[in-house]
Amino acid sequence: MNTVKHREACGICDQEKEKGIHLYNLFICCECEQKMVHTEPQEAQYQFYLNKLKNINKSTLYS
Ligand SMILES: [Zn+2]
């Protein structure tokens, strides 16, 4: 018997993960969520995450 697990591609790391959160239409895996929480605004990664999150706002404007 196969157990079908729900996997989704993370919008940040593009890898399919089972656990994560949904931010509007974007799926963010647990690992990326934790990284985002612990990223300081002065870090280069922060801008990277911000750009990803900007895409969410764009798409929800038209919904
Ligand atoms: Zn991820």
Is the pLDDT at 54 greater than 60? The verdict is yes
Mean pLDDT of the 38-55 span: 92
Question: How many angstroms separate the alpha carbon of residue 10 from the centre of ligand 1?
Answer: 5
Question: How many angstroms separate the alpha carbon of residue 38 from the centre of ligand 1?
Answer: 14
Q: Does any domain span residue 49?
A: yes
Domain span at residue 43 reads 27-58
Sign of the alpha-carbon dihedral angle for 58, 61, 62, 63:
positive
Q: Does any domain span residue 22?
A: no
17-31: b or e for each residue (b if 16 or more CB lie within 10 Å)? beebeeeeebbbbee
Stated pTM of the model: 0.73
Specify the number of domains making up the chain. Answer: 1
Q: Does any domain span residue 43?
A: yes
Average pLDDT over the chain reads 87
Q: Which residues pair with 20 in a beta bridge?
A: 29
Q: Does any domain span residue 38?
A: yes
What's the pLDDT tens digit per position in 18-41?
A: 999 998 888 999 999 999 999 999
Ligand 1 is a single-atom ion; what residues have CB below 5 A from it?
10, 12-13, 29, 32
Q: Does any domain span residue 34?
A: yes
Is the pLDDT at 4 greater than 90? The verdict is no
Q: Does any domain span residue 4?
A: no
3-state secondary structure of 3: coil
Is the pLDDT at 62 greater than 70? The verdict is no
Which strand (E) or helix (H) includes residue 36?
helix 30-37
Q: Does any domain span residue 63?
A: no
Q: Does any domain span residue 11?
A: no
